[in-house]
Amino acid sequence: MSPLFERQVDKLREGHFLVLYWVARAEDTGHAYNITNAFDDLKAQGITRTKQTAVAMIEALDALDFLRLQGQGNRKHLLITEDGARALERLVHKGAFQPRRSSFLEAQS
């Protein structure tokens, strides 16, 4: 694990962690998780109140190549990359954040 990768992961905040976690869960259960779902869940958890912030978090994860976006507009479907999985693994080992519930995923199950 390169020092740059470690520094990048260490800068991630709880919102980033939750998006990565929810995206992975959605992929695991075979559901498409998009920016609107991520915004709704982040808002429900009190992480942010604006869609701009939610989009900025997702763009940051995309720029770091921790997420991949498929599709068009707000319907873009989010997928976690292998680097994203390693980043999430590191955050879990650090015990930095705790997973929280996703209204979207609960509604699907």
The residues that touch other proteins, with contacts defined as CB under 8 A, are 21, 24-25, 27-28, 80-82, 84-86, 88-89, 92-93, 95, 98-99
Measured from the CB atom, is 21 or 39 closer to other proteins?
21
How far apart are CB 81 and other proteins at their closest, in Å? 7
CA 54, CA 19: separation in Å to the nearest integer? 9
Measured from the CB atom, is 43 or 86 closer to other proteins?
86
Measured from the CB atom, is 55 or 79 closer to other proteins?
79
Both tokens assigned to 56: 């900025």
Measured from the CB atom, is 73 or 106 closer to other proteins?
106
How far apart are CB 101 and other proteins at their closest, in Å? 11
How far apart are CB 64 and other proteins at their closest, in Å? 15
CA 37, CA 32: separation in Å to the nearest integer? 9
How far apart are CB 105 and other proteins at their closest, in Å? 11
